[in-house]
Structure 1
Amino acid sequence: MPRLPRLAVAATAALALALFASAPTSAGEPTVTDPRVVAHFDFAAGQAAENIVVAPDGSAYVTFAFARQVARVDKKGDTRILATLPAVENPNTPVIGVAAAMGITRAHDGTLYVTYATGTSENGVWRVDPDGGAPVQIAQLPADGFPNALALDEKCGTLYVADSVRGTVWSVPQEGGTPTAWATGTALQPIAPPAGAGVGANGLKFHNGAVWVSNTDRQTLLRIPVRADETAGPVETRATGLAWIDDFGFTGKGDTVLAALIMTDDVALVRPDGTHTIVLTEQDGLSNPTSVAVRGKTVYVTSASFFKEVPDPNLLLATLKKG
């Protein structure tokens, strides 16, 4: 597979990498140690490791963006392809121009849900059996949008999808059906090139009764409360100055976050007060990190290596020590 269009290359080339504020480590907060790359993937085969969700046994389910694949990777790095999303004729995906498997989440029974960005009628949310089989589209999203990360509130049976181009969080019934524009507004919108890369709402997690969203262009981490009637509350900005933030994960029950900063090859620990500290870097093996997951004492980071001259997409594990 040829070296594919990098996400908004023209736009990002026009932007200088911003210097972002960090703060010294505080006593009692989580620390990240013992980083090690457990699996390297094949960029030429389209295996840009985009998003991740972790099963109870510690195995990771990863989307390979340009291969349109879902893979299972165990903690030793052994990788098995579970499913391949169907090829699309004449994809017209905003920003990247090609069909790409993006976000992934998992139900308690092992069912996987994946966003597929195509710019066609296949654009939307797909269901994947954990044991393999043909993926099934369960919701169609507007072709001019870019479905990115997604999360599941299984108690309410709702999937939430971040649309990076339309600046929208969509809600979709878990069983499938018509999507609803659940949250919109300036805080979720991208910034058009050359001032921005054209990528707004990007990463997304459901956590403590709220939908949390990153906005890449605005360098922010947002929290959107879910009201009792399941509508969206007002958007709250929880952190700023997170240059090139992509997806993220929570370190535990609190609101401390580990966020992937794709263009600076870093993972930042973002505190509830909005300050942050870099805890993993390119020297640890990161190569355009795109997403973070945490299970117990293990941190998982996917690197898609979208922008590297010598790409090294990979899965990195680290140990989380909670203060």
Structure 2
Amino acid sequence: MRIKQIGVVLAATAVFALPAAPALAASRIVPLDLAAGQQPENIALEPDGSADLTFAYTGEIGRVTPGGQVRIIARIPVPADGDVPVVHRKLFLGGIVRAPGGDLYVAISTGTPATGLYRVRPGSPPVQVAALPPSGFQNGVARDPATGDLYVADSFGSTVWRVSRGRVTAFATGELLAPVSGFGANGIKVHAGAVWVSNLDRGTLVRFPLTGGPGRVVATGLGPVDDFAFHGDSVVAAINQENRVVTIGHDGVRTILSTSDGLANPTAVAVRGDQLYVTDGAYFGGSPNLLQTPLAANTCGAE
């Protein structure tokens, strides 16, 4: 495993310490309905503490209230002729981000021209705002708060797409984003002047400057890393098939959650204050859920 001064390049406010895996008693698990296809792939947090979840294969977006109630707020039509590459489902609903006005943007893969980035306003039909290659697997989505530009990680296309005012361009391409035998570019975030991307097959975290230029590997040896989030001087990441959530920082990689905490193929993480949210897709067994737990009681600094 290799960490390349991640604490330096993270432009964070302060260094904080994380304890070993928190006890389950301090956590809160909201069970989801596997029979109804509620396998969460990604998460966006609402100002009131609710969590918006993409359900991977149903085209549904669910909202989990602070009280633990789950309701469907939007449905993406599932094309009858859909055939997502490799997974061979009619639809895959990937990353989700929330814009300040409340609009949600989600990545959809279908293997048809319906593949793309969609805007969702609860109560209104979803609208495709950008078409993306049907041959790709559109996964994580990130938003640049300074410009409003959106970035989509294509797990099969070895590409990060930028969507700016409806115009689609390839922001980054190449081997750093490429899969080995399955999924390459996966999670994606805009942070500290750069676009950060995880590569699941290669077990890496890569940083691309927003101003352009080549990307560089910031961390290796992570295992099948899916989504991730920033907190203080560290990254918190979901290691999907290994059923772990880890932190990546000055002291290397540390496991903070595992199967004993209820993990079942963690697909995404989100951080608000000292609270960590984890979605479990249960793609390879177990039960899907939304887990919420404190990161640390002795956290210093802020996100």
Structures share fold, TM-score greater than 0.5: yes
Q: Structure 2 CA distance, aligned partners of 1:178 and 1:109?
A: 21
Q: Structure 2 CA distance, aligned partners of 1:201 and 1:289?
A: 16
Count of matched residue positions in the alignment of Structure 1 and Structure 2? 283
Q: Is the contact between residue 50 and residue 304 of structure 1 (CA under 8 Å) also seen in structure 2?
A: yes
Dislocated runs of 4+, deviation >4 Å:
none
Alignment of 1:1-323 (within 5 A): 28-31=16-19, 33-35=22-24, 36-98=27-89, 99-129=91-121, 131-173=122-164, 175=165, 177-192=166-181, 198-227=182-211, 232-252=212-232, 254=233, 256-271=234-249, 275-308=252-285, 311-321=286-296, 322-323=299-300
SS of 1:125's partner is: strand
Q: Which blocks of at least 5 consecutive residues in structure 2 are unaligned?
A: 4-14
SS of 2:208's partner is: strand
State the 1:132 CA deviation. Answer: 2.8
Distance 1:21 1:305, change over 3 A: farther
Q: TM-score, normalised by structure 1?
A: 0.84
Distance 1:264 1:276, change over 3 A: same
Write the deviation string for residues 33-84 of structure 1: whole angstroms up to 9, x where unpaired: 3542431112222111110011222211110111111111123321111001
Q: Structure 2 CA distance, aligned partners of 1:67 and 1:42?
A: 12
State the 1:88 CA deviation. Answer: 0.6
Q: Amino acid of the residue matched to residue 123 of structure 1?
A: T
Q: Structure 2 CA distance, aligned partners of 1:74 and 1:207?
A: 27
CA RMSD of aligned residues (A): 1.8
> 1:8 maps to what in 2?
none
Q: Which blocks of at least 5 consecutive residues in structure 1 are unaligned?
A: 1-19, 193-197
State the 1:123 CA deviation. Answer: 0.5
Q: Structure 1 CA distance, aligned partners of 2:112 and 2:141?
A: 19
SS of 2:202's partner is: coil
SS of 1:119's partner is: coil
Q: What fraction of aligned residue pairs are identical, expressed as a percent?
A: 45
Write the deviation string for residues 202-235 of structure 1: whole angstroms up to 9, x where unpaired: 00011111111000011001111111xxxx3321
State the 1:248 CA deviation. Answer: 0.6
Q: TM-score, normalised by structure 2?
A: 0.89
